[in-house]
Structure 1
Amino acid sequence: MNSRGLSFFFLIILMLLLTSCTVDPNAADQYVQSKQLDVEIILPSSLSKNKEQNLKMKLTQEGKKVEYATNVKFEIWKENHKEHLEVVEAEYENNGIYVATKTFTDDGLYNIKADVKTRDAHVMPTRQVIVGKLLEEDKNVFKPDNKKHQEHQNHH
């Protein structure tokens, strides 16, 4: 086979390969559509230092209580001190509610992030809370609505 015939042969093979690799217009339908995971952080009406506090989160998906979540934890840090972040594992209590205990040692503004993974979602809402007294240094960063909903939802 001469070089012209060989070039023609490779051109035909290349065209066959390119035409066989087209995008399926229904490809999105082949992926499982995951259901939104809702996380509600439930805290006492006031938090005091040097007292054990129950931190809770309620997990629902399409209105149903989630009992099978893995890696359910709270990440807690004092405002502007994320380098001292503490991770507290939460245990399943009942009715889709997971609970952890924490004793805060200082007054001030804290961030409490619920970090939850299920089979098909990863959600991390965050709330700002005042423990004891709000310190002067925290007054300019405190959000009066008490929430910093930074929800990240990753579906696998």
Structure 2
Amino acid sequence: MKKRHLAISTALIALLASGCGQNDTETNASEDEEVVVVPISVDLTVPETGKAGEAIQLEAAVTQGDEKVTDANEVEYEIWEDGKKEDSWKVKSDQNTDGVYEAEAKFEHDGVYHVQVHVTARDMHTMPMKEITIGAGTPDDEAESEESHDHHDSAEGFSMHFMEPEAVKVNESAMMIVHLQQDENPLEKARVRLEVVVNDKKDEAKWVQLTEEKPGEYHGEMTFDTAGTASVTVHVENDAGLHEHETHEITIAE
């Protein structure tokens, strides 16, 4: 009888050990598997030409693999005339068709314009860009005049998006986020700093070093002790010789 009980106990222990070993193997196998994240993709549609004063339809179809992305956090169009990025304006979009975010834009006068869509969805960001020529484009004499002015043109293929923090208040931490791309790919390992001037007091400028939290996405926090208007200049450099900057304004409330 005792021998029979001993045999049964031995069999149970072997079975349990086998089960545990199998589970450990399955766990290790699952841990070793790489999780492949499918990036979001944006098909930006912008007419090649248009007329001044007329509404121009803009569309951005956002997908992830074969799936239409209907839950984007942000889809916003930024538009500026060639050579005048500092005078850009933004247009919010509406999703009237699953995964397609639409907007209308009007251009006051003839010229060559850049249309860039900023898409943030599923913890990813991308910002493709296209050009549109309005009317006759830029007259030759005006183009020559613009070339004689000292304005900053971005390096070819480089894109920057400063996500302006909302509802910035005195003595409350504000998160500053900058997205960088080169040839529509995340620009990694860049040195990104913010030069912050409040109420035009340039002699009291403060610098904020940003940290790369995700490929091409840089974060930093800042607290303001004075209400008013802050000029935020984003400085970007890397070991390949890139040196770019853009200036934005944010409002600080009491």
TM-score by length of 1: 0.67
Residues 1:116 and 2:119 are matched in the alignment:
yes
Find the aligned partners of 2:34 and 2:111 in 1 and give their Cα distance: 46
Partner of 2:74: 71
- Any stretches of 5+ residues in structure 1 without a counterpart? 1-27, 142-148
Alignment match of 1:89 (pick from 80, 88, 92) = 92
Residues 1:130 and 2:133 are matched in the alignment:
yes
Cα 1:86–1:29 change in 2 (3 A) is farther
Cα 1:150–1:50 change in 2 (3 A) is farther
How far 1:65 moved relative to its partner?
Answer: 1.2
Find the aligned partners of 2:46 and 2:38 in 1 and give their Cα distance: 26
Cα 1:97–1:75 change in 2 (3 A) is same
How many residue pairs get matched? Answer: 122
Cα 1:29–1:100 change in 2 (3 A) is farther
**Larger deviation: 62-71 or 40-49?**
40-49
Q: Whose strand proportion is higher, 1 or 2? A: 2
Cα 1:107–1:34 change in 2 (3 A) is same
Residues 1:151 and 2:184 are matched in the alignment:
yes
Q: Which has the higher contact order (CA 8 A, sep 6+)?
A: 1
Regions of 4+ moved over 6 Å = none
Q: Which amino acid aligns with 2:51?
A: S
Partner of 1:42: 45
The root-mean-square deviation of aligned C-alpha atoms, in Å, is 2.9
Quick one: percent identity of the two aligned structures? 26
Q: Which amino acid aligns with 1:151?
A: E
Find the aligned partners of 1:78 and 1:45 in 2 and give their Cα distance: 14
Partner of 2:158: none
How far 1:95 moved relative to its partner?
Answer: 3.1
How far 1:94 moved relative to its partner?
Answer: 0.6
- Any stretches of 5+ residues in structure 2 without a counterpart? 1-30, 148-152, 154-181, 187-213, 218-254
